[in-house]
Amino acid sequence: MPDLPRVVVTESLAAEPMAWLRQHADVVESSPDRVKEDLAGARGLVVRTYTTVNADLLDGGPDLNVVGRAGVALDNVDIGACRARGVEVVHTPGANSDAVAEFVFALIFDAIRPRVMLDKPLELGAWSSLRTELVASRQIAGSTIGIWGMGRIGTRIARIGTAFGATVLFHDIQEITDDWRNGGTPVSREELLERSDIVTLNMDEREKNRALVNADAFGRMRSDVVFVNCARGMVIDPVACAEFFVNHPGAIALLDVHDPEPFTATYPLLDINNVKLLPHIGAATRPAKINMSWVVRDVLRVIEGETPEHPAPLA
């Protein structure tokens, strides 16, 4: 299709945005391990999570105008290297915020509300035993939820937590205006960790956040904390995390993100009974996948010389 700009796609997109892209571009379906050899002549590159866009990769695409990240975080895209070559970077902020916020509460309910599904009749004794065994020791109403990072996802968690009747605390490096707090109260990092029954991480992937949740942070948490990370694996010190949960069997960690992904047999958080590991599925809803895949619209805008709706931040 010589009259259409070539766009390389390295990871799967939702069907409707992909069909739209095929109508407007010569689409090359590639993969993270062979993308460099497919970039010759390409004007656009669309990636998701497991394609690393760096200077070396960009050397294979001298005609590139734009890199589109079908998602929010940009830790796998070297924005500086792109812009040094005149390559715009676009993404989809907010596309998966509702999905991740809902997932955070799905994990919390898994942690605090034991339950079983019945597939056969039970005698009264077994029925009564289950009703006794499955009494939860806590509930969200009346608990304190601490939100570390009050961005798009954090504000949604605050709204949901407040609706459930929880006390919501938050800590963020930026001033959060009243209209974004959704019932949350700003506190210091120390107060958030010390007071919260549930701690959820929602900070971004900037390098200064690496291992931000360290031994000192874990040492301030309650001995029975429910700790949720659906942000980025790199924000946690995994050794400090492992030590805390080994030493506090009444606490529980629910970790959807890891560093690296996929993790290996040497991962410090493996084989700890109260640490639950998930395969990075917080954004795994069909609506979120569709929303993220529509990054292709901005990719075409840039190729056609238009201003994108969602360019990557400057820093």
pLDDT value, residue 110:
95
218 CB-side CA count, 13 A: 24
pLDDT value, residue 315:
58
- Distance between CA atoms of 130 and 123, rounded to whole angstroms? 11
Beta bridge partners of 8: 28, 45
Count of residues in the chain: 315
Q: Beta 6-9 vs 167-171: how paired, if at all?
A: unpaired
What amino acid is encoded at 68 in this protein? G
Report the Cα–Cα distance between both ends of the chain, in Å, rounded. Answer: 37
Q: What single string gives the DSSP state of each residue in 224-284?
A: T-EEEE-S-GGGB-HHHHHHHHHH-TT-EEEE---SSSS--TT-TTTT-TTEEE--S-TT-
Structure tokens at 223: 């001995």
Average pLDDT of the chain is 96
- Distance between CA atoms of 223 and 244, rounded to whole angstroms? 9
- Distance between CA atoms of 50 and 4, rounded to whole angstroms? 27
29 falls in which pLDDT band (50, 70, 90)?
very high
pLDDT value, residue 267:
98
pLDDT in tens, 91-127: 999 999 999 999 999 999 999 999 999 999 999 999 9
314 falls in which pLDDT band (50, 70, 90)?
confident
pLDDT value, residue 2:
58
- Region 148-160 average pLDDT: 97
Least confident of 1-5, 207-211, 259-263: 1-5
pLDDT value, residue 270:
98
pLDDT value, residue 206:
86
Give burial (CB, 10 Å; 0-12/13-18/19+) of 110. Answer: middle
Residues with Cβ within 8 Å of 190's Cβ and at least 6 positions away in sequence, in order, are 220
For residue 164, give the nearest of 94, 113, 99 by alpha carbon: 113
pTM score of the predicted model: 0.91
pLDDT value, residue 73:
87
Return the number of other C-beta atoms located less than 10 Å from residue 22's C-beta: 15
Strand ranges (E), the chain: 6-9, 26-29, 44-47, 66-69, 88-90, 144-148, 167-171, 185-186, 198-201, 226-229, 252-255, 275-277
- Distance between CA atoms of 313 and 206, rounded to whole angstroms? 12
Q: Residue 238, preceding bond cis, omega within 30 degrees?
A: no
Beta bridge partners of 277: 255
pLDDT in tens, 297-310: 999 999 999 999 99
3 falls in which pLDDT band (50, 70, 90)?
confident
Does 1 score more than 90 pLDDT?
Answer: no
Does 198 score more than 70 pLDDT?
Answer: yes
- Region 152-169 average pLDDT: 98
Least confident of 201-210, 230-239, 259-268: 201-210
Helix (H, G, I), strand (E, B) or coil at 198: strand
- Distance between CA atoms of 52 and 35, rounded to whole angstroms? 10
Residues with Cβ within 8 Å of 294's Cβ and at least 6 positions away in sequence, in order, are 17, 92, 95
205 falls in which pLDDT band (50, 70, 90)?
confident
- Distance between CA atoms of 241 and 10, rounded to whole angstroms? 33
Question: What does R_g of the chain's alpha carbons equal in angstroms?
Answer: 22
Let me know: does 67 contact 45? Beta carbons within 8 Å.
Answer: yes
Q: Which residue has the higher pLDDT, 313 or 289?
A: 289
